């Protein structure tokens, strides 16, 4: 039987024994060697042509005799000759003992090794002078006689789990040697290592697992080893994966942090007032054009302010055709100031001027210019004017001019408050009147403006934009009613009469609220009812139907509101009653709304006194009907109103005999005597008003009672119904 075959048989025997010995298999399974060790173990150490007692020094050059070329003439050596019948894991020692008598500790083997001065690669080598077990086997005296067998055993044993001691640390020298020897060994092992290991060693990472399984199958690797290999591979693979995963995770985290920091950086730059200003006013993308961006607004869109429109017409002419004005040598105003209460159409007018002249409209709000950072306001103004000059002719509109051009505060606390306004003054002086740039400012408080702003050559043209009169209101109502579906029965005039003092914005809101109400009620179009409803809502506040009010409180409210109504009805100079209700609205439990029959441009002393008396009507009614112990807190807002009127009469309108026609703007700075004189006068006015109200209510106690009961029945009464009740007629049930 050919040696080879015998060896193979040995190898096979080995395998068979192992196969049927679950215990030994278990033992083998426990002995799992990390992958790197397995690879080390495969590299059967260099073939050495040692003589038995040659002293072994690890750096002796070894010539490698490739196993397969060795002649196979030796007699076959089988385990029996070695006194071993069957080979199990426990027999390794005996085998080695027989192969290498005296190898094991305790026998004084001719020591092949000295104390190593250079640390060897492994403790094994340090101790035995051989790189590993196999080279120890090969150097045995038996090797020469049975080199073939020992080689085969070694190569078979290679499949056995081997105990390799390796040092936990690597010296540079050993590392180099290891790397070098590993690569040489790897090259060599490709010849000696069984094919399945080759595939394993040379595997491409991509398809490890299935090639490993495939190899396990095709090369019928013993069961026991499969787990060890798989475990080893899995461990190595998982470790590698875990490491990659960790690296990827930390890379991802770093990238995320950098990205967030970048975002913050960009946000900070954009928010930076200097940059954002530059961005806003110098880039075409987001220059300070009117954010509302109403397209081609013309004078047609502005109703009820004819006078203001006429005054601005000439500005439009100038913007359309500046030469016409320069030829005559005339100078147009650089700055136009629109003055009026909120919501009267100042911004709309400025847009209409730019729209009529068809020039760019630059919108800026005064409050934008004031930032907590010093100098930001001034830089924004510079940018705005630079951009406008570059696009002349154009309109610059500065809304709420008083917030940037307010009186300059001369105080060490605000050393920079002048910077922005000074910049504005400088810019206004910085261009010639006929350069084609018109600056329009709007303010609700002209008195708050710095005088330097409104001197000639700056905002030297002032246009008043007042609240619309009944005619203007009718026009504005028609304008907005035409934008919705409304019933033909709607008479804008009546609504206009009932909305004295309403601004354009409030009228627009009234029509809009009526449309919403009609939509909520599922109506096809808006009728007078919805318009009245939204008017009351604006005048008296939204109804609070959900509020549950007990009868006692309802009765008090009914007499309180009737008190106001009776005074208004029986006082000659009082405003006519529009409506009385005990339906809670807004913050009040009831409300009486009065409306002048037309616009009051001025109010007489009698009218002011009448308003005070009406305000006193509520408290007086409570006192007369329920007694002084049952008067309520509900009259506080009435007294506020009456006190305000009395104070304006004394300090503003010169309507006090004692204090004369002087005005007292800042009472806090007055002398104590003057202050107490003012208080005295106010007190007298209020007491007299109270007495007048009491007199009226005593005189018309019956009507007062009838009206209160009607309110308890109908909850809300309009002017007509109130008149019917006070005339003693019966109201038809609604
Ligand atoms: N005379 C008017 N004619 C038509 N619509 C008006 C008129 N006045 C106000 N409006 C409406 O009210 C809205 C607000 O008006 P605008 O902003 O021009 O008032 P304003 O005087 O500038 O208010 P503020 O002083 O609060 O800035 C306008 O968009 C417009 O729809
Ligand atoms: Zn009241």
- The answer as to whether 626 is a domain residue is yes
Contact 661, 591 (CB under 8 A): no
> What was the pLDDT predicted at 70?
40
Question: Picking from 88-92, 324-328, 392-396, 559-563, which range would have the lowest pLDDT averaged per residue?
Answer: 88-92
Catalytic hit among 188, 532, 561, 703: 561
> What was the pLDDT predicted at 480?
94
How far, in Å, is the centroid of ligand 2 from the Cα of 637? Answer: 7
Q: How far apart are CA 662 and CA 5, in angstroms?
A: 135
Between 706 and 434, where is the model more confident? Answer: 706
Band of pLDDT at residue 416, cut at 50, 70 and 90:
low
- The answer as to whether 455 is a domain residue is yes
How far, in Å, is the centroid of ligand 2 from the Cα of 109? Answer: 123
- Indicate if 619 and 536 belong to the same structural domain: no
> What was the pLDDT predicted at 352?
92
Between 638 and 662, where is the model more confident? Answer: 638
- Indicate if 641 and 667 belong to the same structural domain: yes
> What was the pLDDT predicted at 294?
54
Which ligand 1 atom sits nearest the alpha carbon of residue 340?
21
Q: Which residues, 6 or more positions from 55, have their beta carbon under 8 angstroms from its beta carbon?
A: 112, 113, 114
Say whether pLDDT at 569 is over 90.
Answer: yes
> What was the pLDDT predicted at 657?
85
- Indicate if 429 and 480 belong to the same structural domain: no
> What was the pLDDT predicted at 324?
76
How far, in Å, is the centroid of ligand 2 from the Cα of 635? Answer: 5
Say whether pLDDT at 201 is over 50.
Answer: no
Strands 591-594 and 361-365: unpaired
Say whether pLDDT at 327 is over 80.
Answer: no
- Indicate if 516 and 568 belong to the same structural domain: no
Say whether pLDDT at 24 is over 50.
Answer: no
- The answer as to whether 645 is a domain residue is yes
Q: Which residues, 6 or more positions from 676, have their beta carbon under 8 angstroms from its beta carbon?
A: none
Between 410 and 678, where is the model more confident? Answer: 678
Mean pLDDT, rounded, of the chain? 74
Which ligand 1 atom sits nearest the alpha carbon of residue 304?
1
- Tens digit of pLDDT for each residue in 66-81? 444 344 344 444 555 5
Nearest alpha carbon, ligand 1 atom 4? 302
Band of pLDDT at residue 565, cut at 50, 70 and 90:
very high
Q: How far apart are CA 120 and CA 130, in angstroms?
A: 10
- The answer as to whether 96 is a domain residue is no
- Tens digit of pLDDT for each residue in 149-200? 666 665 655 544 444 444 444 445 555 565 565 555 545 545 554 554 454 5
- Tens digit of pLDDT for each residue in 36-62? 454 444 444 444 343 434 333 443 443
The pair of structure tokens assigned to 476 is 């504005």
Q: How far apart are CA 562 and CA 582, in angstroms?
A: 10
The pair of structure tokens assigned to 125 is 């080598």
Ligand 1 pocket: which residues have CB below 6 Å?
Answer: 302-305, 340, 342-348, 399, 442, 444, 476, 504-505, 508
Band of pLDDT at residue 103, cut at 50, 70 and 90:
low
Which of 294, 446, 505 gets mutated to test ligand 1 (max ligand atoms within 8 A of its CB)? 505
- Tens digit of pLDDT for each residue in 275-292? 544 434 433 333 444 444
Contact 381, 389 (CB under 8 A): no
Say whether pLDDT at 32 is over 80.
Answer: no
- Indicate if 393 and 452 belong to the same structural domain: yes
Band of pLDDT at residue 450, cut at 50, 70 and 90:
confident
- The answer as to whether 568 is a domain residue is yes
Which ligand 1 atom sits nearest the alpha carbon of residue 475?
3
- Indicate if 588 and 523 belong to the same structural domain: no
Strands 394-399 and 577-581: unpaired
- For the question of residue 561 being annotated catalytic, the response is yes
- Indicate if 515 and 561 belong to the same structural domain: no
> What was the pLDDT predicted at 14?
38
| Average pLDDT over every residue of 397-420 | 71
| pLDDT > 90 in the chain, percent | 25
> What was the pLDDT predicted at 357?
87
| Average pLDDT over every residue of 555-568 | 95
How far, in Å, is the centroid of ligand 1 from the Cα of 401? Answer: 16
Nearest alpha carbon, ligand 1 atom 12? 505
Which ligand 1 atom sits nearest the alpha carbon of residue 443?
25
Q: Which residues, 6 or more positions from 215, have their beta carbon under 8 angstroms from its beta carbon?
A: 196, 199, 200, 221
Question: Picking from 104-108, 515-519, 651-655, 716-720, which range would have the lowest pLDDT averaged per residue?
Answer: 104-108
Which of 291, 348, 355 gets mutated to test ligand 1 (max ligand atoms within 8 A of its CB)? 348
- Indicate if 474 and 451 belong to the same structural domain: no
- The answer as to whether 165 is a domain residue is no
Ligand nearest to the CA of 565: 2
What is Dmax (Cα atoms) for the chain? 150
Which of 540, 574, 592 is where one domain is finished? 540
Band of pLDDT at residue 590, cut at 50, 70 and 90:
confident
Which of 416, 444, 466 is where one domain is finished? 466
Which of 498, 515, 540 is where one domain is finished? 540
How far, in Å, is the centroid of ligand 1 from the Cα of 513? Answer: 17
- Tens digit of pLDDT for each residue in 376-389? 777 888 888 888 88
- Indicate if 304 and 452 belong to the same structural domain: yes
> What was the pLDDT predicted at 2?
38
Say whether pLDDT at 418 is over 50.
Answer: yes
| Residue 374 domain boundaries | 299-466
Q: Which residues, 6 or more positions from 624, have their beta carbon under 8 angstroms from its beta carbon?
A: 694, 697, 698, 701
- The answer as to whether 209 is a domain residue is no
Band of pLDDT at residue 130, cut at 50, 70 and 90:
low
> What was the pLDDT predicted at 202?
47
> What was the pLDDT predicted at 129?
64
> What was the pLDDT predicted at 134?
63
- Indicate if 474 and 585 belong to the same structural domain: no
Distance of CA 522 to the CA centre of its chain: 39
Q: Which of 160, 116, 106 is nearest to 134 (CA)?
A: 160
Say whether pLDDT at 584 is over 90.
Answer: no
Ligand nearest to the CA of 618: 2
Between 616 and 199, where is the model more confident? Answer: 616
Looking at residue 572, what DSSP letter applies? T
Q: How far apart are CA 622 and CA 562, in angstroms?
A: 10
Question: Which alpha helices (DSSP H) does 406-491 contain, by range?
Answer: 417-429, 470-481
**How many helices (H) and strands (E) in the chain?**
29, 8
Ligand nearest to the CA of 540: 2
Nearest alpha carbon, ligand 1 atom 20? 343
Contact 20, 224 (CB under 8 A): no
Ligand nearest to the CA of 463: 1
Say whether pLDDT at 267 is over 90.
Answer: no
Between 696 and 121, where is the model more confident? Answer: 696
Band of pLDDT at residue 483, cut at 50, 70 and 90:
very high
Band of pLDDT at residue 82, cut at 50, 70 and 90:
low
In the chain, the number of structural domains is: 3
| Average pLDDT over every residue of 16-41 | 42
Q: Which of 392, 330, 316 is nearest to 360 (CA)?
A: 392
Band of pLDDT at residue 556, cut at 50, 70 and 90:
very high
Which ligand 1 atom sits nearest the alpha carbon of residue 508?
11
- The CATH number covering residue 678 comes to 1.20.58.760
- The CATH number covering residue 445 comes to 3.40.50.300
Which of 343, 354, 364 gets mutated to test ligand 1 (max ligand atoms within 8 A of its CB)? 343
Where is 649: in which H helix or E strand?
Answer: helix 636-651
- The answer as to whether 39 is a domain residue is no
Q: What b/e sequence results for 252-286 when a residue is b if at least 16 CB atoms lie within 10 Å of its CB, and e otherwise? A: eeeeeeeeeeeeeeeeeeeeebeebbebbbbeeee
- Indicate if 625 and 670 belong to the same structural domain: yes
| pLDDT > 70 in the chain, percent | 63
| Average pLDDT over every residue of 119-123 | 61
Task: Report ipTM for this prediction.
Answer: 0.97
- Indicate if 440 and 483 belong to the same structural domain: no
- The CATH number covering residue 520 comes to 1.10.8.60
> What was the pLDDT predicted at 634?
86
């Amino acid at each position: 039987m050919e040696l080879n075959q015998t060896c193979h048989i040995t190898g096979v025997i080995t395998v068979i024994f192992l196969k049927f010995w679950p215990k030994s298999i278990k033992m083998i399974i426990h002995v799992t060697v990390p992958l790197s060790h397995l690879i080390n173990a495969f590299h059967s150490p260099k073939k050495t042509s040692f003589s038995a007692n040659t002293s072994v020094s690890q750096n002796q050059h070894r010539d490698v005799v490739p196993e397969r070329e060795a002649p196979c003439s030796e007699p076959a050596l089988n385990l029996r000759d070695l006194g071993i019948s069957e080979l199990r894991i426990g027999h390794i020692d005996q085998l080695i003992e027989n192969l290498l008598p005296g190898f094991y500790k305790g026998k004084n083997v001719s020591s092949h090794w000295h104390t190593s001065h250079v640390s060897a690669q492994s403790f094994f080598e340090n101790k035995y002078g051989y790189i590993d077990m196999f080279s120890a086997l090969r150097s045995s005296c038996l090797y020469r006689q049975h080199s073939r067998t020992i080689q085969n055993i070694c190569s078979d044993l290679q499949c056995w789990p081997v105990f390799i001691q390796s040092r936990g640390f690597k010296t540079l020298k050993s590392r180099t040697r290891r790397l070098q020897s590993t690569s040489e060994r790897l090259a060599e092992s490709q010849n000696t290592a069984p094919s399945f290991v080759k595939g394993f060693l040379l595997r491409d990472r991509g398809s490890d697992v299935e090639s490993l399984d495939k190899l396990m199958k095709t090369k019928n690797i013993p069961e026991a080893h499969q787990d060890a290999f798989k475990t080893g591979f899995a461990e190595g693979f998982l470790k590698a994966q875990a490491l990659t995963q960790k690296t990827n995770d930390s890379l991802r985290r770093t990238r995320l942090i950098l990205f967030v920091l970048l975002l913050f950086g960009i946000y900070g730059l954009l928010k930076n007032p200097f940059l954002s200003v530059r961005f806003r006013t110098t880039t075409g993308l987001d220059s300070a054009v009117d954010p509302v961006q109403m397209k081609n607004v013309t004078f047609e869109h502005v109703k009820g302010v004819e006078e203001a429109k006429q005054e601005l017409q000439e500005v439009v002419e100038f913007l359309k055709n500046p030469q016409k004005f320069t030829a005559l040598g005339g100078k147009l105003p650089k700055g136009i100031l629109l003055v009026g209460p909120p919501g009267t159409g100042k911004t709309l007018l400025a847009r209409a001027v730019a729209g009529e002249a068809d020039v760019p409209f630059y919108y800026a709000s005064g409050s934008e210019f004031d930032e907590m950072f010093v100098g930001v306001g001034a830089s924004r103004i510079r940018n705005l004017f630079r951009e406008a000059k570059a696009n002349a002719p154009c309109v610059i509109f500065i809304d709420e001019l008083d917030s940037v051009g307010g009186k300059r505060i001369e105080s060490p606390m605000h050393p920079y408050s002048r910077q922005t306004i000074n910049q504005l003054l400088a810019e206004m002086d910085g261009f010639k009147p006929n350069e084609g740039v018109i600056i329009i400012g709007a303010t609700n408080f002209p008195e708050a403006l710095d005088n330097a702003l409104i001197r000639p050559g700056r905002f030297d043209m002032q246009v008043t934009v007042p609240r619309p009169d009944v005619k203007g209101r009718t026009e504005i109502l028609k304008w907005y009613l035409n934008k919705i579906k409304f019933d033909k029965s709607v008479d804008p005039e009546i609504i206009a009469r009932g909305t004295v003092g309403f601004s354009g914005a409030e009228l627009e809101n009234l029509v809009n609220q009526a449309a919403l109400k009609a939509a909520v009620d599922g109506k096809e179009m808006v009728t007078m009812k919805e318009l009245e409803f939204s008017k009351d809502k604006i005048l008296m506040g939204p109804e609070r139907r959900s509020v549950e009010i007990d009868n006692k409180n309802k009765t008090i409210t009914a007499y309180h509101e009737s008190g106001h109504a009776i005074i208004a009805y029986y006082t000659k100079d009082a405003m006519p009653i529009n409506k009385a209700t005990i339906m809670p609205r807004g913050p009040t439990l009831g409300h009486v709304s009065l409306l002048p029959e037309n616009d009051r441009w001025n109010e007489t002393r009698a009218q002011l006194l009448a308003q005070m008396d009406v305000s006193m009507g509520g408290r007086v009614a409570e006192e007369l009907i329920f007694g002084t112990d049952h008067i309520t807190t509900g009259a506080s807002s009435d007294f506020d109103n009456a006190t305000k009127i009395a104070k304006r009469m004394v300090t503003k309108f010169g309507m006090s005999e004692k204090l004369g026609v002087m005005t007292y703007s800042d009472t806090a700075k007055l002398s104590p005597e003057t202050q107490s004189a003012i208080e005295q006068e106010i007190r007298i006015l209020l007491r007299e008003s109270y007495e007048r109200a009491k007199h009226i209510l005593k005189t018309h106690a019956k009507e007062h009672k009838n009206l209160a009961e009607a309110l308890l029945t109908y909850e809300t009464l309009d002017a007509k119904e109130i008149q019917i009740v006070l005339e003693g007629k019966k109201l038809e049930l609604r």
